Amino acid sequence: MTPERQAQFEGSSVLITCTGENVQWLKDDKPLHQSQLGIRSVLDVLFIQNSKNFHSGIYTCLSQDKDGIDQMGTSQLFIGGKPRTM
């Protein structure tokens, strides 16, 4: 799963990728639903558009490899304040 850790400013777009098939996503050990604000998943990619502080957390990918063996990976995401403008 990539990246394992990332920090982004509020408002940025975030991508988290997983390998495998039959991918299921969790956030902080709870099932993640596409209806959650600003989050979409397409196959093995989780996309967060216009990220907010509440998107911070630990994302887990549950999947299977080509032989049907279960796999798991995690990615920690931290969303901080907006960048300063000069």
Estimate to the nearest angstrom the gap between the alpha carbon of 74 and the chain centroid.
9
Can you give the pLDDT of all 86 residues of the chain as single tens digits? 788 999 999 999 999 999 888 899 999 999 987 667 788 888 889 999 999 999 999 999 999 988 888 999 999 999 998 766 66
Q: What tokens appear for 78 in the block?
A: 């931290």
User: Are 73 and 1 in contact, with CB atoms under 8 Å apart?
Assistant: yes
The verdict on pTM exceeding 0.75 is yes
Element (H, E) at 76: strand 70-80
Q: For the domain 5-80, what is the CATH code? A: 2.60.40.10
Q: Phi and psi dihedrals of 54, rounded to 5? A: -70, -10
Degrees (nearest 5) of the Cα angle 43, 33, 73? 55
pLDDT at residue number 14: 95
